[in-house]
C-alpha cells in the first residue's frame, strides 16, 4: 500500500492554486509559504486529509499582511487606548489613501520648489482656533510636552503644582518626562490645594515656564483648590497648559473638559493637546500659541526627531476641516436610540436560541478624557463565556464583563456595525 503521505500535494502545486496565488499577491510569498508548509505537516501527521491542504492553508491566512486587525469595540469606552483611541472619519480615511503614494507633502506645486511641510494642516488648525497665532504638530502629546520643556526650560525650572504631577497609562509619569529633558521641577502647593501665592513665591530668574497639566484620568474632590489659567497670566513668565484630550472648543456634553480656544483666551501662552482623543483624529501632539514661542519650538533640533509623516498630516487636516467625526457623533448619541438598537440585537439572538437581553448602561470617554463622567448608553447582556469567545473570534469583539455577564455596549459601535456584531456572536456560539 502506498504511503498516504505521498498524497500530500507539493508546495509548488499548492502555491499555484488560484485562491492561494491571490493570497500570495495580497500577503506576500513567505507568509503564504509558511501556511502551506504548516498544512502539509498536518496532512503528513494524519490530522487532516491531503485533499484539505489548500483549504487549511487558506483558513490559516490572515486578512492582511499586517497583524493589526479591525476590532469591534463593545466596551463602552469611546477612546480605548488599547484599541487605537479615536476611530477616524471617512474623510480622514480617504485622505490617508490619497496620501499613501507620492504627494506634495513638502513641495510647492506652483513654484516647483520645496515648500513648508504640513502647511495645510497647520492652516486648518489656525482656522479652527483663531486665538492661536501659530501651531506646530509632533507625533504625540508626550512629544509635544517634551519639546516644550526642552526648548523653553532645559537647564532651568518648570513650576508645577504637586496635584498635577500625574501618571498616565503604562506607568508613564509627567515628572519623569520633564526631568529627562534636562529641566528641573519646582513643585508648589500640596497634593489637594495650591494657591496663586505658591506660584509667585516659586518664580525666580531661572524659571523657564509655569506648567498646568489637566489631571485627565482621575478626579480630586473634597477639600481642594487650584489656580485657573486666567490668574497665572500676569506672573511674567510663559504659561504652558497641557489640556490633554484635545478639544478645540467647549463641548456641551463635557462642560468641565478644558479646550484650546478657552484656554488660550484665558491667557495661556502655549496649549498642548492630543490629536487622537476628543478631536477624533490621528495620533499627534498639537502645540498652539504665540507666534514667537511656537517658532522657537519648530526650529529646535529636537523638532526634527518628533515630526509627523504625510499620513498623519493628511488625516489631521481632514479631521479638522472635514465633517463630524465618529467620536463627536458618539458623544451626542441618545440613550433611547441605543436601547432600541440593543433590543433589536437581543431579539435577533434570542430568536436563534442565544440568551440575550437589552439593558441601559453607562459608557465612558476613555483615553484620559473627562474622568468621572458617565455617558448614558445601552448594552446587550450575554452569558459571561461569550467575552473570551468573542475576543478570539473573527472579527474580534472586545466586550466588558459585569456581574458574571458579558456586556456588548453600543456606545462606541457605529450603527452600521450592528449586523457585524450579530454575526460575530452567531459565529462563536
Instruction: Check which CATH number belongs to the domain holding 319 and give it.
Output: 3.40.640.10
Q: What percent of the chain has pLDDT over 70?
A: 98
Cis-peptide, bond into residue 395, ω within 30° of zero: yes
Is the per-residue pLDDT at 380 higher than 50? yes
Q: 309 and 209 in one domain?
A: yes
Q: Is 388 in contact with 352 (CB distance < 8 Å)? A: no
Asked if 107 and 23 sit in the same domain, the reply is no
C-alpha distances in Å from residue 1, one per residue of 47, 76, 231: 20, 60, 92
Sequence-ordered alpha helix ranges (H) in 266-379: 291-299, 301-305, 310-321, 326-331, 335-350
Nearest to 121 by CA among 318, 374, 362, 285: 318
Q: Are residues 260 and 243 in contact, defined by beta-carbon separation less than 8 angstroms?
A: yes
Per the structure, the complete domain to which residue 403 belongs is given by 72-84+329-428
Position 53 scores a pLDDT of 95
- CATH code of the domain in which 398 resides: 3.90.1150.180
The structural domain count of the chain equals 3
DSSP state of 373: P
DSSP string, 402-423: ETTEEEEE-TTS-GGGHHHHHH
Q: What is the DSSP string of 164-187?
A: G--B-GGG-BHHHHHHHTT-EEEE
| CA within 13 Å, CB half, 65 | 11
Distance separating the N- and C-terminal Cα atoms of the chain: 42
- Structure confidence by residue, pLDDT tens digits, 207-231: 999 999 987 666 777 788 899 999 9
User: How crowded is residue 349: how many other Cβ atoms within 10 Å of its Cβ?
Assistant: 21
Q: Residue 138's closest CA among 282, 265, 318, 259? A: 282
Quick one: pLDDT band at residue 19, thresholds 50, 70, 90? Answer: very high
Average pLDDT over residues 94-115: 94
| Alpha-carbon span 357 to 300, nearest angstrom | 57
CB 341 within 8 A of CB 367: no
Q: Are residues 78 and 100 in the same domain?
A: no
> What percentage of the chain exceeds 90 in pLDDT?
87
Measured from the Cβ of residue 100, the count of other Cβ atoms closer than 10 Å reads 11
Do 135 and 188 reside in the same domain of the chain?
yes
* Closest by Cα among 232, 264, 270, 227 to 248: 264
pLDDT confidence bin for 1, thresholds 50/70/90:
very low
Alpha helices in 228-334 (DSSP H): 229-232, 260-265, 291-299, 301-305, 310-321, 326-331
pLDDT-based confidence at residue 335 (cuts at 50, 70, 90): very high
Q: Give me the mean pLDDT over the 407-413 stretch.
A: 98
Tell me the mean pLDDT in the region 291-306: 96
For residues 300 and 347, membership in a common domain is answered with no
The answer to whether position 312 is within a domain reads yes
- CB 173: neighbour CB atoms within 10 A? 12
pLDDT at 368 over 90: no
Distance CA 50, CA 54 (A): 9
Q: Mark whether 151 and 196 lie in a shared domain.
A: yes
72 C-beta neighbours (distance < 10 Å), count? 22
pLDDT of amino acid 339: 98
Whether 3 has a pLDDT exceeding 70, the answer reads: no
Contact between 209 and 158 under an 8 Å Cβ cutoff? The reply is yes
Co-location of 94 and 231 in the same domain: yes
pLDDT at 165 over 50: yes
Asked whether residue 146 is domain-assigned, the answer is: yes
Of 293, 323, 353, which residue sits at a domain end? 323
14-23, 58-67, 138-147: segment of lowest average pLDDT: 58-67
Mean pLDDT estimate for the chain: 94
What number is the average pLDDT over the span 367-382? 91
Instruction: With respect to residue 67, please indicate whether it lies within any of the assigned structural domains.
Output: no
| 429, burial (CB in 10 Å: exposed 0-12, middle 13-18, buried 19+) | middle
Q: CA 257 to CA 246: how far, in whole Å?
A: 9
Lowest mean pLDDT, pick from 128-132, 233-237, 253-257, 370-374 = 370-374
Domain end call among 261, 288, 323: 323
Same domain, 300 and 171: yes
Whether the per-residue pLDDT at 254 is higher than 70: the answer is yes
Q: Which residue has the higher pLDDT, 216 or 242?
A: 242
pLDDT above 90 (res 143): yes
Tell me, yes or no, whether 66 lies in a domain: no
Beta bridge partners of 397: 72
**79 inside domain:** yes
In a domain, 288, yes or no: yes
235 and 203 in a common domain: yes
Per-residue pLDDT at 215: 78
**What average pLDDT does this structure show over 364-369?**
88
| 285 belongs to a structural domain | yes
Evaluate whether residue 65 is within a structural domain: no
Q: What is the reported pTM?
A: 0.91
Residue at a domain's end among 263, 291, 323: 323
**Are 50 and 125 within one domain?**
no
Same domain, 194 and 102: yes
Indicate whether 231 and 253 sit together in one domain: yes
Q: Does residue 4 register a pLDDT over 70?
A: no
Amino acid at each position: 500500500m502506498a504511503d498516504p503521505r505521498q498524497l500530500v500535494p507539493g508546495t509548488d502545486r499548492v502555491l499555484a492554486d488560484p485562491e492561494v496565488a491571490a493570497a500570495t499577491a495580497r500577503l506576500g510569498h513567505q507568509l503564504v509559504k509558511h501556511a502551506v508548509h504548516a498544512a502539509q505537516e498536518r496532512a503528513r501527521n494524519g490530522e487532516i486529509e491531503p485533499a484539505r491542504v489548500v483549504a487549511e492553508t487558506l483558513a490559516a491566512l490572515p486578512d492582511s499582511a499586517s497583524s493589526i486587525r479591525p476590532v469591534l469595540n463593545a466596551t463602552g469606552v469611546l477612546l480605548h487606548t488599547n484599541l487605537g483611541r479615536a476611530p477616524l472619519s471617512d474623510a480622514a480615511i480617504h485622505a490617508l489613501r490619497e496620501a499613501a503614494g507620492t504627494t506634495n507633502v513638502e513641495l510647492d506645486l506652483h513654484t516647483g520648489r520645496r515648500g513648508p511641510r504640513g502647511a495645510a494642516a497647520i492652516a486648518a488648525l489656525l482656522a479652527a482656533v483663531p486665538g492661536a497665532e501659530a501651531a506646530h504638530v509632533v507625533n504625540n502629546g508626550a512629544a509635544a510636552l517634551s519639546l516644550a520643556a526642552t526648548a523653553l526650560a532645559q537647564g532651568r525650572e518648570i513650576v508645577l503644582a504637586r496635584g498635577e504631577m500625574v501618571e498616565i497609562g503604562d506607568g508613564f509619569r509627567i515628572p519623569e518626562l520633564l526631568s529627562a529633558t534636562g529641566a528641573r521641577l519646582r513643585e508648589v502647593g500640596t497634593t489637594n490645594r495650591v494657591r496663586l501665592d505658591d506660584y509667585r513665591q516659586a518664580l525666580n530668574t531661572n524659571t523657564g515656564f509655569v506648567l498646568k497639566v489637566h489631571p485627565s484620568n482621575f478626579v480630586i474632590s473634597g477639600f481642594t483648590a487650584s489656580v485657573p489659567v486666567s490668574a497665572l497670566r500676569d506672573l511674567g513668565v510663559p504659561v504652558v497648559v497641557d489640556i490633554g484630550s484635545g478639544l478645540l472648543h467647549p463641548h456641551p456634553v463635557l462642560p468641565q473638559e478644558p479646550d484650546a480656544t478657552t484656554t488660550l483666551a484665558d491667557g495661556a501662552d502655549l496649549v498642548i493637546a492630543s490629536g487622537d482623543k476628543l478631536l477624533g483624529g490621528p495620533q499627534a501632539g498639537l502645540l498652539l500659541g504665540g507666534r514667537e514661542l511656537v517658532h522657537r519650538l519648530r526650529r529646535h533640533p529636537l523638532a526634527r526627531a518628533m515630526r509627523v509623516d504625510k499620513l498623519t498630516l493628511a488625516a489631521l487636516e481632514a479631521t479638522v476641516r472635514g465633517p463630524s467625526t465618529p467620536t463627536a457623533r458618539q458623544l451626542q448619541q441618545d440613550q433611547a436610540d441605543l436601547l432600541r438598537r440593543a433590543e433589536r440585537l437581543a431579539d435577533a439572538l434570542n430568536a436563534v436560541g442565544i440568551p440575550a437581553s437589552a439593558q441601559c448602561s453607562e459608557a465612558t470617554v476613555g483615553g484620559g478624557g473627562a474622568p468621572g463622567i458617565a455617558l448614558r448608553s445601552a448594552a446587550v447582556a450575554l452569558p459571561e463565556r461569550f467575552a473570551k469567545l468573542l475576543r478570539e473570534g473573527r472579527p474580534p469583539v472586545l466586550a466588558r464583563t459585569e456581574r458574571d455577564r458579558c456586556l456588548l455596549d453600543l456606545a462606541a459601535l457605529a450603527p452600521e456595525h450592528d449586523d457585524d456584531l450579530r454575526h460575530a456572536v452567531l459565529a462563536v456560539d
